[in-house]
Structure 1
Amino acid sequence: MPLLQFDVTGPLDPTDKEAFAAEVTDLYTEEMATTAGHVAVTIRERDPSDLHLGRAEDGRLLFLDAEIRRGRSFERKRAFALATMEAARERWDVPEANLKVVFTEHAGEQMMGYDRVGGEWDVEDGGERD
């Protein structure tokens, strides 16, 4: 039940934001070995003065705060981060130096929808347990 929150300097086309959300959902399901139905994505357009990164180059900034279930390997998280950053670079021409991904991990029970509470990630099976 991840929540993938993007802050990006705008402006962005609404159709392009929807396509990016779908692309990121696909990347998450592939790299994190899960299904798409519970992946939530927010894309917030920000004024350039709203975001700061010390090493930034001229151009758009994009930060991802990925709230995920604990238990995924470093390799899975790194693969997802790299794939997502590459997708942002290709879609919105974000310089490499201006991309940042931060993961915050939660116990499954801390991730809730109206109709369910998340289970724990089963490291041995490589997937979630309900």
Structure 2
Amino acid sequence: MPYLQLDVNGQYPPEAKARLAQLLCETYASMMSVDIRRISVAVRECGDGGVWRMIDGRPQPVAVLMCDIRRGRSAELRLEVAKSLCRHCIEILGLHEDRLNVEFTQHAGDEMYHPTLGGYSPEWSEDERSGA
């Protein structure tokens, strides 16, 4: 973790998904002060009509970005991260801002296991933000 999961309607070229994954990772790592090697990204193509939300009383196709993250960041920081991640989804995949939601699920560090990086993720602290 973090695990960024984008559910979308339709299909996209692998190159676009790879570019999006790179930008999401770089932005998230920079803004949330995390080792970029801990970040995983999934772009789930649910096909036409795979993801819906009720808008003005009618079902409309939408996209949802689920972010499983370590707990501890402020609501203000999460808002800025959400806006930045949305910009990448809009620019790379052409998603519509008013049809894209971001949801954060916060976890303790010991709910995120990375064998390559030595096991469980440490708990996030303000020291990571300052680079200490």
Structure 1 length normalisation: TM-score?
Answer: 0.87
Partner of 1:107: 108
What is the CA deviation profile of residues 67-87 of structure 1, one whole-angstrom value per residue up to 9, with x for unaligned ones?
Answer: 000001112211110011111
Gaps of 5+ in 1: none
- Paired with 1:60 and 1:93, the residues of 2 have a C-alpha distance of 14
Spell out structure 1 runs of 4+ moving beyond 3 A.
none
3-state secondary structure, aligned to 1:121? coil
Normalized per residue, the structure richer in helix is 2
Partner of 1:44: 44
Query: Is 1:26 aligned to residue 29 of structure 2?
Result: no
Instruction: Give the percent of matched residue pairs that are identical in Structure 1 and Structure 2.
Output: 30
- Paired with 1:10 and 1:86, the residues of 2 have a C-alpha distance of 19
CA RMSD for the aligned pairs? 2.1
* Matched letter for residue 79 of structure 1: E
Aligned length: 126
Partner of 2:73: 72
* Matched letter for residue 2 of structure 2: P
What is the CA deviation profile of residues 55-113 of structure 1, one whole-angstrom value per residue up to 9, with x for unaligned ones?
Answer: 289x9632111000000111221111001111111122211111000000001111112
Gaps of 5+ in 2: none
